[in-house]
Structure 1
């Protein structure tokens, strides 16, 4: 079943304590709102409207770099207004198409939650993930005034699923000046049937500072570290410079290759692709394709990094070893580290560039060519 989604991230999140709005804080090294966008697109969302405060629109592209099928939407004064802003940007498809409304402050939504909701929506106008109330409920202020029976009471979560046109019509009928507590209540008041679906404690909402501490522990358990290795070699030919790790080094010869023959970036590109089992540089940029003739190899590495980001991953560190007698690498090492760090959007202390010789042995020892080896670690969802 196809679906679209609206992710609401326009609030300030004042109860979360000082700092950036909670949807923009880092969780497991990624902005909180990115977790939900990744989950929706990975589950097959046709399009995702990401609703943020107007002054955050320009920051969204960086926060969601590498992801596709999303569009930025400026939010309103209230959550309900922001939901309507997002709904208005969901185009195409059938009016009966499911649309999921989700709070970015619940970062651990996953494919299984979405599938349960869509199944519950088959015979309803809306579907809500909910957990039965387990604790004893008390009513009162400074002292207990009454104990409230919890039978039949549920804790509603998000995402909540609806027929798109049904939700839009329900909002159109909602009384002006009154704020709904959630989207399901809007459909309920309009006479719609809202099904209860199985909730999940992991769909916790980040509200207070201590919630972020718990979320970091959860995030750490949902990730895996992958190792990728790359090797590349090019022979020397006519020229007056070589490109290595994105830096032009004057030399009495050049390196022969279809692109700029940057061994360091080629090895790194293969290492990144290998870490996510996504083929190799030759598959993504075949040398038989004339468009890559003389191409700058930073494009190849940036492409591989974007492939990692599209899977919800991030590159942790990179280590390159250049094997040659000449040119001397030492004077250019820091510039190479800085360039690789820039391409991969890493702090420079996570990028290593080393050099060694083969003591006159082999093709590198004889000065016939140059070789590079690279190792990269990548963190991705399980």
Structure 2
């Protein structure tokens, strides 16, 4: 038996569900990420096309947010193979809910079902071929790629609990493929049991007792999640030539009255505060100047003059976010941010990871793209005498060659 579609004459043996109901907050402000434009087209359009044009896929249904119908209609307009596209289903509060609602919208007959995230826009024919082949041999099959980094299991206090054997690990992607009745039954059982915490259908299938198989994934099948991912996707699809630029920044503030200092967007307890027009965050100020330097776009005082009262006591995360956005507006990509704090106290080590995480959040880059170091000056100079604190920073970016 096969799933009967809502289009006359279309009889379905294989169907793809594209999960496109999320809001994509990690991608930053603006439209949900599946509707943002990359290389002149919405992400969802890039994602749908290989499914709509693959000869082994009979129909495609999207699970969308109820508020996004106009965005969806614009994204799918003019796509090749659009006759295979079924009426979209309304998604739910979670990804798991959205998949279940799409499954329910299809009916309950036999079919091979692929489930794919709208944010993975680089699926190719070979990956779909492997998915369909695995789905014909197994009740549940997931694409996975070998883990190349050393993997650690970490306790809540940050201590390494064990080193995990990476040869047994796979990073799982989508499209994941299932026997349709088995997947629908698993989703219904999970909903009845009050389980709404599964982040992928493979995990839900394991919970339901299905035998789950791993087939070869594709390292190019990236998920567009953070602002930096959009930069990379634009580069891959736009064919732009990018050149690397490196610039540095430096900032210093004297100590004054107070009980804390701001470093990299983190409030660090200290017996002194800083004397500054804004919040005195030397790390973010130095990084802002470094990023602006890659653009030859002045310095922090050019854009946020201390003579302007609106910047009095301002939070410095606004300055770095502004500089990074200038890079992106120029078609560039922020590759790495590095800062060194110069002081006798406070000690930076206990706060290093929090500072890295906050800078990564402000700049919209992966944590691995942020480095924080600290040094004393062997009690020499104003920092050595405990009179103030300083930071020096470097930023590396890639910008269009014509910039």
Is residue 57–residue 73 contact of structure 1 (8 Å, CA) maintained in 2?
Answer: no
In structure 2, the partner of 1:77 is 93
Do the aligned partners of 1:47 and 1:90 also contact (CA within 8 Å) in 2? no
Corresponding residue number in structure 2 for 1:173: 189
Separation in structure 2 between the aligned mates of residue 9 and residue 155 of structure 1, nearest angstrom: 21
Task: Provide the C-alpha distance between the structure 1 equivalents of 2:36 and 2:152, rounded to a whole number of angstroms.
Answer: 34
CA distance in 2: counterparts of 1:182 and 1:118, whole angstroms: 18
The 8 Å contact of residues 80 and 179 in structure 1, kept in 2 or not, is answered as: yes
Q: SS of the counterpart of 2:47?
A: helix
Contact 1:15 1:208 in 2 (8 A): yes
Mapped partners of 2:90, 2:135: distance in 1: 28
Quote how far apart the aligned CAs of 1:121 are.
1.6
1:54 aligns with 2:66: yes
Match of 2:148 in 1: 134
Cα-to-partner distance string for 1:203-227 (whole Å, 9 max, x where unaligned): 11111111111111222359xxxxx
Question: Counterpart of 1:298?
Answer: none
Matched, 1:217 2:240: no
Please tell me whether residue 121 in structure 1 is matched to residue 132 in structure 2: no
Determine the C-alpha separation between the residues in 2 that align with 1:178 and 1:25.
28
1:30 aligns with 2:41: yes
> 1: distance between equivalents of 2:195 and 2:139?
24
Corresponding residue for residue 225 of structure 1? none
Match status 1:99 vs 2:113: yes
SS of structure 2 residue aligned to 1:40? helix
Aligned residues: CA RMSD:
2.0
Counterparts of residues 1-382 of structure 1 (less than 5 Å): 2-44=13-55, 45-67=57-79, 68=82, 69-70=84-85, 71-91=87-107, 95-140=109-154, 142-174=158-190, 175-221=193-239
8 Å CA contact retained: 1:57, 1:74: no
Q: Measured at CA, do residues 85 and 36 of structure 1 come closer, stay the same or move farther in structure 2, by a change above 3 Å?
A: same
Task: Tell me, yes or no, if the aligned pair for 2:100 and 2:188 is still in contact at 8 Å.
Answer: no
Instruction: Tell me how far 1:178 sits from its aligned partner.
Output: 3.5
CA distance in 1 between counterparts of 2:158 and 2:185 reads 42
Q: Distance in 2 between matches of 1:204 and 1:98?
A: 24
Shift of 1:177: 3.6
CA distance in 2, matches of 1:40, 1:91: 20
TM-score by length of 2: 0.52
User: What does residue 278 of structure 1 align with?
Assistant: none
Q: Name the count of aligned residue pairs.
A: 220
- Cα distance in structure 2, aligned partners of 1:106 and 1:112: 15
CA contact (8 A) 1:127 1:197 kept: yes
Preserved CA contact (<8 Å) 1:8 1:83: yes
In the aligned structure 1, how far is the partner of 2:107 from the partner of 2:52?
16
Does the 8 A contact of 2:90 with 2:101 survive in 1?
yes
Decide whether the 8 Å contact of 2:97 with 2:196 is kept in 1: no
Task: Determine the C-alpha separation between the residues in 1 that align with 2:167 and 2:208.
Answer: 25
Q: Is the 8 A contact 2:95 2:199 kept in 1?
A: no
* 1:33, distance to aligned residue in structure 2 (A): 0.9
Contact 2:63 2:90 in 1 (8 A): yes
Distance 1:121 1:216 in 2: 32
Distance 2:178 2:110 in 1: 9
Look up the SS of the partner of 1:176 in the other structure: coil
Note the residue ranges of structure 1 that are not aligned, 5 or more in a row. 223-382
Task: Work out the CA distance in 2 between the residues paired with 1:2 and 1:28.
Answer: 33
Q: How far did residue 146 of structure 1 move? A: 3.5
